[in-house]
Structure 1
Amino acid sequence: MNCFNSCKHENLVKQLSYNTMFFQALVVSGILCLSHLASAASTDGLTVNTTSGQLQGFVNQTAPDVRQFLGIPYAQPPVGPLRFAPPQDPVSSQQLINATTLPNSCMQQFSNGSTIYTAYEREFLISGGQSEDCLYLSIWTPSLEGIDAKGSPLPVFLYIPGGGFTSGGQNSMYKIPDKWVQRTQSHIVVIMNYRVNVFGFPNAAALSHQNPGLLDQRKASVEWTSKNIAQFGGDPDRITLWGQSAGGASVANYPYAFADDPIVAGLIADSGATGIIAKSDPTHSNFSSLAGLVGCSNLNASAELNCVRNVNATTLESALSNYVISKKTPAISFTPSDDNITVFTNYTDRLVHGHLAQLPLITGSNTNEGAGFVPFTPSGPGNATLVNTTLSIIACPVARDVARRDLDSTKYPTYRYLYTGNFSNISPVSWFGAFHSAELPLLFGTHDEYGPGNSTSFEYSVSQTMEALWLSFAENPAAGPKRFNSSDGGYFAWPQFKQNASDLVVFADGGKTLQLATAGPRVDEFCGL
């Protein structure tokens, strides 16, 4: 190579090196700009990374200081070979998840019966659609400014909806907590879907796990939330598992099922107990009967299961619902089975032998639970029917759960209530009274949103008192619920329940926000306790 060509080559190399460095600088600069933009986009806290993927939440004008993340997948869709199977960890999405819409409910068993809910109380019913792809949860959390003002991670309510284990989900108008979180700016609410009826509790002979619906609750209510809630400003060490009706029964059952690894710090069971959860079907006849209705009869257990797994979800649900509505025999139903893994035949034995997580519990019932379970008529079924239904379905099972925990109250502190509220905007017909679920609008702060007429000042007082006690419990379950009333300087510490002592907290009775009473004359004497 001559000198001219050599010099030309060196200049070319220098120019290429300069161009390369310039291009790299542009790339780095661009990356920094993009990084800055991404950071700026997430400074409002609406983009959150989770084990399910990156979520995009939102705020609205109704609750401008509440970040809402709706429809977060906490497990893989339970479809195809995963129908009836325990929930599987979600595959982390590589796409941004638009968490701005409440999800479909799980497949619902429907009924044609008239109840107070279908006649007057539709805000308690499920809105929106249904789908077998339904394992989603939703989170309501304060703004970043609200969380920063507290200076520490917030306590978390993890709510399991009711529905008799045959229906239910998170999309229910009275149980949307955005305004409650907006008002307090001091807690987070998580609400889940879980599989119900045959999809959640199949009890098929070929299955090794008979209660995948309860395993959904564990996967959503504890494991996913515990792993991810810090990303939303929550404290994974202060998760309170709360549920009502079937959700309350699930909460009551939970410390027995996960005695050695509860993860949660406290429990709240509204109108739910272990005594309403278990049934036995050792021959698996319910599943086989339903299989016969959808063309899967006269097969061995494995073939029967595979056949039913391939039936269209709507076809399967319709076959079940229509058969139940027809009142044909033999009757079939799908609720949790006592497999002695997640549900047990002898709860007292488990407590005596220490197979119960040592977690504090708030639990109680309403004075007229029965109104929610009887067929609706304008004049009502009569007082005797209401009382007997209230006692047999809810009040006595709750009382027995409490009595069992009282066998060792130092290990299992219990705080018991009785709700008596009869507010006309929630109970517009006189005989409704404190029906099943009537306390929920006061706890979620939605009592003034939907019913006929306005909430009274007394109703607001009861609501704020109950909310404050529930929240103080979530803040420190080990210390028990307390309330300081800044308006009158009053202080109330909820005493632990003891049989035959005046430590039952009665809400909304006789014009008093709360008062202490003895449980015996109010409930327990009618339950043989």
Structure 2
Amino acid sequence: MLPSSSFALIGLILPTALCYDGLVVQTTSGEVHGFVNESAPLVRQFLGVPYAEPPVGKLRFAPPETKSHGGVINATAFAPVCIQQFSNSSTIYTAQVPQFLVNGGQSEDCLYLHIWAPALKTEDPQEQALPVFLYIPGGGFTSGGANSLYKIPDQWIQRTQSHIVVVMNYRLNVFGYPNAEGLTDANPGLLDQRMAVEWTRDNIAAFGGDPKRITLWGQSAGGASTSIYGYAWPDDPIVSSLICDSGAAGLLGSGDNQHTNFTFLAGLVGCSGLDAQTELSCVRNVSATTLENALSNYSINGTKPAISFTPFPDNKTAFSNTTDRAVRGLVAKIPAILGSNANEGAGFVAYTPDGPGAATLFSVTESVIACPVSKEIRTRNLVGLPTYRYQYAGNFSNISPVDWMGAYHSSELPLLFGTHYEFRGPSTSFEYNVSHAMEALWLSFASNPTGGPARWTAEEGYFAWPEYQQNTSSILLLASGDTLQQLVTGAGIDGNCTG
């Protein structure tokens, strides 16, 4: 890692070291103008690139429409995140690690991508198109987005100069998963994700990326989205591999078969007692802020019946029985990395200084994340899909400032994105080693998915991550105690899962 003084020095020679032609890129959305900044002088950044038409007016609750060519796009600032459902609950994220939360404004006009790519060097022009990560942020399908401090990949690309990262926004809560009776498509938020994949396929070569090596990667709700994506597009996945951090297809599962949630919310905003199409038209004319406030405040008050908006298993974009679908061959035949963290539960309980106790944390860890991930891995094993399984156990004080947090939900992301040292004190040398090892494995997989993840260092030699097989030591356990990596069985997770 270069010290800050080195960044400053590089910044001084920036005009002669880089080819600025790489900051103007022709895309299907328009001519995109990016930038380079002093904190990452070897990274081209293109922030706020539209990939679909604004989903407003008649397009609210509808599938996304392809973005028409819009002339010059000044891609120098994050686009607003999609409309967020808000809460007054205290969590580790609000109390201790707000860098996971989103920044900036929010808007219904939010279907934008954010792209980070290595700078073009005149003295060593890029000869080969680079592998691409297309990242789906998490947030429980109710919140989240690209503008999140811990999940900005500029320093990772600054260090390696060997890949491109694209981070998407997609519609959330009722805007993304309305499941209204008057609609043909229950889950436009999942269709947003597909359109982001299509846009990346069609345009990433202009940024130096390889459209044949796009890895769809997500965490939490983004991991669930990535997992279900393979079932939704079995014959034309476009992407070459999947990475699902702390998320699996089984996490999607609204049971609102009667569309009562949408009708109830419609009543809260003055659209009650209407037939399906009139109800839909009425709600489309309600301001986005009014809808957001009505849904959020109703949920905060704890009034019954509870209502929520997450992906509904419509058997087009989301599915209630993915095992059956896999057995029938209706799943993309591409490799995947799936895994979870040792203390996921800390991210799902109310925050108190002393925590809820080890038993509660373990129970929540297993039921909410670890067991659904385990089930999806068993399904993939059943039909012979190459799968690489991990558990992350890192407990670093600048990421987990309270003892009981440990390897909580999302805590691996600062190590993968290379942002772990930026808040609450410097990172240890071991923390850097873990970060670099995880980045190398993820990047190796994106570069050559069929070859499997691998890494080599002078100190440790060559390590090839084996495909996961049940009842064998093939889970990659990362950062447990002072051990960077080791292979273990799944007994500690799977032995406590049912179904």
TM-score by length of 2: 0.95
1:401 is aligned with what amino acid?
A: E
What's the counterpart of residue 444 of structure 2? 472
What's the counterpart of residue 416 of structure 1? 389
Equivalent in 449, 452, 471 of residue 500 of structure 1: 471
> How big is the shift at 1:99?
0.3
What are structure 2's unaligned runs of at least 5 residues? 1-17
Equivalent in 343, 348, 360 of residue 385 of structure 1: 360
Partner deviation per Cα, 1:228-286 (whole Å, 9 max, x = no partner): 00000000000000000000000111110000100100000000011111222111000
1:506 is aligned with what amino acid?
A: L
Q: Distance in 2 between matches of 1:283 and 1:147?
A: 62
The 3-state SS of whatever aligns with 2:434 is: helix
What are structure 1's unaligned runs of at least 5 residues? 1-40
1:498 is aligned with what amino acid?
A: Q
Contact 2:254 2:309 in 1 (8 A): no
- The question of 1:240 aligning with 2:215 is answered yes
Q: Distance in 1 between matches of 2:233 and 2:479?
A: 35
What's the counterpart of residue 71 of structure 1? 48
What's the counterpart of residue 7 of structure 2? none
Partner deviation per Cα, 1:56-86 (whole Å, 9 max, x = no partner): 1000000111100000000000000000000
What's the counterpart of residue 268 of structure 1? 243
1:270 is aligned with what amino acid?
A: D
The 3-state SS of whatever aligns with 2:495 is: helix
Q: Distance in 1 between matches of 2:81 and 2:59?
A: 17
Contact 2:19 2:122 in 1 (8 A): no
> How big is the shift at 1:177?
0.5
> How big is the shift at 1:346?
1.1
- The question of 1:457 aligning with 2:429 is answered yes
What is the correspondence of 1:337-356 to structure 2 with a 5 Å cutoff?
337-356=312-331
> How big is the shift at 1:122?
0.2
Q: Distance in 2 between matches of 1:132 and 1:82?
A: 11
The 3-state SS of whatever aligns with 1:252 is: helix
Q: Distance in 1 between matches of 2:126 and 2:25?
A: 20
2:389 is aligned with what amino acid?
A: R
> How big is the shift at 1:217?
0.3
- The question of 1:55 aligning with 2:32 is answered yes
Contact 1:147 1:154 in 2 (8 A): no
Equivalent in 202, 208, 217 of residue 227 of structure 1: 202
> How big is the shift at 1:291?
0.2
Q: Distance in 2 between matches of 1:146 and 1:381?
A: 56
> How big is the shift at 1:431?
0.1
What's the counterpart of residue 301 of structure 2? 326
What's the counterpart of residue 114 of structure 1? 90
Deviates more, 1:264-273 or 1:345-354: 345-354
Contact 1:146 1:185 in 2 (8 A): no
Equivalent in 438, 454, 463 of residue 411 of structure 2: 438
What's the counterpart of residue 370 of structure 2? 395
> How big is the shift at 1:454?
1.5
The 3-state SS of whatever aligns with 2:264 is: helix
What's the counterpart of residue 6 of structure 2? none
What is the correspondence of 1:91-490 to structure 2 with a 5 Å cutoff?
91-94=68-71, 96-145=72-121, 149-220=125-196, 222-409=197-384, 412-450=385-423, 452-485=424-457, 487-488=458-459, 490=461
TM-score by length of 1: 0.90
Contact 1:163 1:246 in 2 (8 A): yes
> How big is the shift at 1:149?
4.4
Contact 1:155 1:474 in 2 (8 A): yes
Q: Distance in 2 between matches of 1:261 and 1:147?
A: 39
Q: Distance in 1 between matches of 2:426 and 2:498?
A: 40
Contact 2:345 2:364 in 1 (8 A): yes
2:288 is aligned with what amino acid?
A: A
What's the counterpart of residue 10 of structure 1? none
CA pair 519-299 structure 1, distance change in 2 beyond 3 A: same
1:75 is aligned with what amino acid?
A: A
Contact 1:48 1:56 in 2 (8 A): yes
Partner deviation per Cα, 1:415-435 (whole Å, 9 max, x = no partner): 000000000000000000000
Structure (1 or 2) with the greater helix fraction: 1
Contact 1:469 1:482 in 2 (8 A): yes
> How big is the shift at 1:528?
3.2
Q: Distance in 2 between matches of 1:514 and 1:43?
A: 41
Partner deviation per Cα, 1:191-216 (whole Å, 9 max, x = no partner): 00000000000000000000000000
> How big is the shift at 1:150?
4.5
CA pair 335-147 structure 1, distance change in 2 beyond 3 A: farther
What's the counterpart of residue 15 of structure 2? none
Query: Hey, which bits of structure 1, 4+ residues long, moved more than 6 A?
Result: none
> How big is the shift at 1:408?
2.3
> How big is the shift at 1:489?
5.2
Partner deviation per Cα, 1:113-152 (whole Å, 9 max, x = no partner): 0000000010000000100000000100011128954420
> How big is the shift at 1:42?
8.0
> How big is the shift at 1:384?
1.0
The 3-state SS of whatever aligns with 1:281 is: coil
Aligned length: 482
